[in-house]
Chain A
Amino acid sequence: MVKYAMAVDLDRCQGCRACMESCKVENNTVQGNFWMYVFRFEEGTYPNTEMSFLPRPCQHCDNAPCVKVCPVGARYKREDGIVLTDTDRCIGCRYCEVACPYGVNYFNWVEPKKAQYPVVNWEDEDLATVTSGAVPPYRNPDLDELQGPEQRHTAGGGHAKGVMEKCTFCVHRVDKGLDPACVATCPTNALIFGDTEDPDTPISRYLAEKRTWDLLEDAGTEPRVHYVGGSPPTHARVEIERPKARA
């Protein structure tokens, strides 16, 4: 049985946030939603200051608090370890969001189409003659497919107003044997993804060689995202260079 996991090598991460952008483009998430988020921290006082980075995808916990609290089973864990949201079933109670210690859930507060990235007025008639009526953002057709053995509607973002969404480990790519978009994009190979049941995969070898730690180990969530290098974040770290949260 395949079990997916991700390793995040903080000694390699340079905080460029390319993973955040590739995630947004791949999954069509709306403004202000960062399924993959990279903290930029500043710690200490001048001249002994230090900058550090912390990529924060969904941790796909084995003991996931969000799965436990969902009243309708819209949030569930697949056998291969990926935690997903069935956007057809979610009732929008946001209990998963308050239950998650990592803050990875993003709700569709408004009609997703209205929260997408505006550039020009795509309804414009003159423009339509050039675009033949196609309205960006480009939408990956895979996102509307049913995924996995359960055949549930789980991939991608921006599906419907009033439902919860979060990182899917790019389930629509993983099911085809591809890496998640963030992993494929990372210019420093700080993100490593794969099957941990097979000892010969790059991630298995990586996790076997390196010392790893998990985010918020005390919460007992047993994440499937493991960190290498760096150190667990504390409140002594001040977050800097936050993105604009909400347009």
Chain B
Amino acid sequence: MTSHDTRTRQLPQGVGRLTGPWWAFIAIASAVLLFGVYAYWRQASGGLGETALADTGTMGGATWGLYVVMVEYFIGVSFAGVAIAALARVFHIADLKPVTRIAELLTVGSLLVGLAAVLIDLGHPARGLWHLLLYARPQSAFFATFTLVGVGLLLASLVYLFLGGRRDAAIMATYESRLNWYHRWWASGYTDTGPERERHMRAMFWLSIGIVPLLVVSLSTEGLVFGLQVGRPGWFGSMQAPDFLVLAAASGVANLIVLAAMVRRALGKAGEAVESAFPWLGRILLAAALAGLYFMVVEMVSLLYATPADERLIAEALLTGVYAPITWLSFGLMLIGLAILTRLAAKRAWHVGPLVLASVLVSISAFAERYLTVVPSQTHGMLLPYEIGAYFPNWLEIAVGAGLFALGALLIGLFIKVFPAIPMTDEEEVSAHA
């Protein structure tokens, strides 16, 4: 047990200590974000015409492009974070406990970024917020993106993150620091007495159980944004929802692994705790990526064999045409990622290096898959014989997209300097020093 005196000197897990590498990280992320903001300013003043987007049909473009891909990707990523955290709490998996907060952070961060991408994609972002309050139509599948996914899930995860962090906040509040007010605010009266602790645990358990159906419903509707479109070959079908979930799981766990590895590195010795989670995360990723690959193969086979006339154009574009490089890149990266994961699993040695590599590959593959869901059905999926279209994001969209990634990174980077990224162990006590 540490004495009260030491606690006045140093907060745990590097909180409050701004190191050189951290500043470098923040500087780079801020620079990318600023450039993204500049690009968005250009778009906001000139209109979406500044992007490479164009009307489908006679203009031969894609009206949904990189931004919608990012919405789908980030909302997918958010799924895994909160699911892993819930998993650890419901089944009391001690090995996963150290990454629960990182997972919640990932969820909140990617949801914020995903919702920002939704607003960025709108022709009238201000109206988007205002008119949704006034005129929302729950019959629209897009309603789920705005409300269920947006507000519901975001609030749920914030509550989850907030409640789950109260105990740690109470511990942090026992330290003398400039952040003391913040930790006291977060602890909001929690003092870690016996009954209080029990109530806390029970609340977290039920929250964990409650959030899973919310997740599945809201993310399925996200898949249905595409799956309900009769008029768009390549989209219509009930597979969109499960496909969305599986890919969401794979990309989300992959990102969680990368983030956990980064935290591990940033925190030094204090970060070693997360290592216990890697074998679990690795196995979950292996399972999710296998399911993802299964969906990919099933899709390809059905494209190759039983293609309705209207989908043939899309099938050709995906397998041998303009989108073929992306298709095979996505497929190849997923295969390589799986090979690495399988080898790690066989050896039962989850080394961080190869695991992170596999995660990055799976994540890129999932991003490419999202792109292939959104774009080709617009450029090659017109039911009337319009000329084949084309779309590739221009510099402005890529800059805004990179800015969104940077925003997420910045949020997480700032967070780990004001709050412990890894939940405190049960041995840490609050009341003794309060």
| A residues neighboring B (CB under 8 Å) | 32-34, 37, 39, 41, 54, 56, 65, 68-74, 89-95, 97-111, 115, 161-164, 215-216, 219-221, 233-235, 237-239, 242-243, 245-246
Tell me whether B385 and A71 are in contact (CB under 8 A): no
Tell me whether A162 and B56 are in contact (CB under 8 A): no
The residue of chain B having its C-beta at the shortest distance from the C-beta of A43 within the complex is: B385
Tell me whether A111 and B47 are in contact (CB under 8 A): yes
Partner of A101, one of B132, B140, B230: B230
Partner of A163, one of B124, B137, B231: B124
Tell me whether B309 and A102 are in contact (CB under 8 A): no
Nearest Cβ on chain A to B51's Cβ, whole angstroms: 8
Tell me whether A220 and B385 are in contact (CB under 8 A): no
| B residues neighboring A (CB under 8 Å) | 46-50, 53-60, 63-64, 121-124, 127-128, 131-132, 134-137, 139-143, 146, 225, 228-232, 309-310, 313, 378, 382-387
Tell me whether A216 and B383 are in contact (CB under 8 A): yes
The residue of chain A having its C-beta at the shortest distance from the C-beta of B374 within the complex is: A98
Interface centre among A32, A71, A108 (most CB of B within 10 A): A71
**Cβ–Cβ < 8 Å partners of B384 in chain A:** 39, 54, 56, 101-103, 215-216, 233
Given A69-B228, A237-B385, A242-B387; 10 other pairs, CB 8 A cutoff: A39-B385, A91-B132, A95-B225, A97-B56, A99-B231, A102-B383, A103-B58, A162-B47, A162-B122, A233-B385
The residue of chain B having its C-beta at the shortest distance from the C-beta of A106 within the complex is: B55
Tell me whether A98 and B63 are in contact (CB under 8 A): yes
- The answer for the CA separation of A124 and B128 in the assembled complex, in Å, is 38
Tell me whether A98 and B229 are in contact (CB under 8 A): yes
Tell me whether B231 and A93 are in contact (CB under 8 A): no
Q: A102-B231, A103-B384 are in contact. Are A92 and B122 (CB under 8 A)?
A: yes
Tell me whether B232 and A98 are in contact (CB under 8 A): yes
Nearest Cβ on chain B to A93's Cβ, whole angstroms: 6
**What number of A-B contacts does a CB cutoff of 8 Å give?**
166
Interface centre among B53, B64, B127, B143 (most CB of A within 10 A): B127
**Cβ–Cβ < 8 Å partners of B387 in chain A:** 239, 242
Interface centre among B132, B137, B382 (most CB of A within 10 A): B137
- The answer for the CA separation of A40 and B317 in the assembled complex, in Å, is 24
Q: A90-B124, A99-B232 are in contact. Are A110 and B385 (CB under 8 A)?
A: no
The residue of chain A having its C-beta at the shortest distance from the C-beta of B127 within the complex is: A91
Partner of A93, one of B121, B136, B230: B121
**Cβ–Cβ < 8 Å partners of B58 in chain A:** 32, 34, 37, 103, 242-243, 245
Tell me whether B141 and A103 are in contact (CB under 8 A): no
Nearest Cβ on chain B to A203's Cβ, whole angstroms: 23
**Cβ–Cβ < 8 Å partners of B124 in chain A:** 90-92, 162-163
**Cβ–Cβ < 8 Å partners of A70 in chain B:** 137, 140
- The answer for the CA separation of A108 and B54 in the assembled complex, in Å, is 10
- The answer for the CA separation of A104 and B56 in the assembled complex, in Å, is 9
- The answer for the CA separation of A98 and B141 in the assembled complex, in Å, is 13
Tell me whether B135 and A73 are in contact (CB under 8 A): yes
The residue of chain B having its C-beta at the shortest distance from the C-beta of A69 within the complex is: B140
Tell me whether A65 and B231 are in contact (CB under 8 A): yes
A-B residue pairs, 3 tightest by C-beta: A92-B123, A101-B231, A103-B57
Nearest Cβ on chain A to B218's Cβ, whole angstroms: 15
**Cβ–Cβ < 8 Å partners of A215 in chain B:** 384
- The answer for the CA separation of A100 and B377 in the assembled complex, in Å, is 12
The residue of chain A having its C-beta at the shortest distance from the C-beta of B138 within the complex is: A71
Nearest Cβ on chain B to A128's Cβ, whole angstroms: 26
Tell me whether A71 and B49 are in contact (CB under 8 A): no
The residue of chain B having its C-beta at the shortest distance from the C-beta of A242 within the complex is: B387
Tell me whether B137 and A71 are in contact (CB under 8 A): yes
**Cβ–Cβ < 8 Å partners of B309 in chain A:** 234-235
**Cβ–Cβ < 8 Å partners of A101 in chain B:** 230-232, 383-384
**Cβ–Cβ < 8 Å partners of A100 in chain B:** 231
Tell me whether B139 and A68 are in contact (CB under 8 A): yes
Partner of A107, one of B48, B143, B229, B383: B48
- The answer for the CA separation of A51 and B172 in the assembled complex, in Å, is 78
**Cβ–Cβ < 8 Å partners of A90 in chain B:** 123-124, 127
- The answer for the CA separation of A210 and B409 in the assembled complex, in Å, is 64
Tell me whether B123 and A163 are in contact (CB under 8 A): yes
- The answer for the CA separation of A44 and B231 in the assembled complex, in Å, is 27
- The answer for the CA separation of A9 and B142 in the assembled complex, in Å, is 37
Tell me whether B131 and A91 are in contact (CB under 8 A): yes
**Cβ–Cβ < 8 Å partners of B310 in chain A:** 235
**Cβ–Cβ < 8 Å partners of B313 in chain A:** 235
Tell me whether B63 and A97 are in contact (CB under 8 A): yes
The residue of chain B having its C-beta at the shortest distance from the C-beta of A70 within the complex is: B140
Partner of A108, one of B47, B127, B146: B47
**Cβ–Cβ < 8 Å partners of B225 in chain A:** 95
Tell me whether B53 and A238 are in contact (CB under 8 A): no
**Cβ–Cβ < 8 Å partners of B49 in chain A:** 109-110, 115
Nearest Cβ on chain A to B134's Cβ, whole angstroms: 8
- The answer for the CA separation of A107 and B122 in the assembled complex, in Å, is 11
Tell me whether A103 and B382 are in contact (CB under 8 A): yes
Tell me whether B385 and A234 are in contact (CB under 8 A): yes
Tell me whether A69 and B59 are in contact (CB under 8 A): no
Q: A34-B58, A103-B56, A107-B55 are in contact. Are A72 and B232 (CB under 8 A)?
A: no
Q: List 5 A-B contacts (CB under 8 A).
A: A71-B142, A73-B137, A97-B56, A105-B55, A242-B58
**Cβ–Cβ < 8 Å partners of A219 in chain B:** 230-231, 383
**Cβ–Cβ < 8 Å partners of B134 in chain A:** 72
Tell me whether B385 and A109 are in contact (CB under 8 A): no
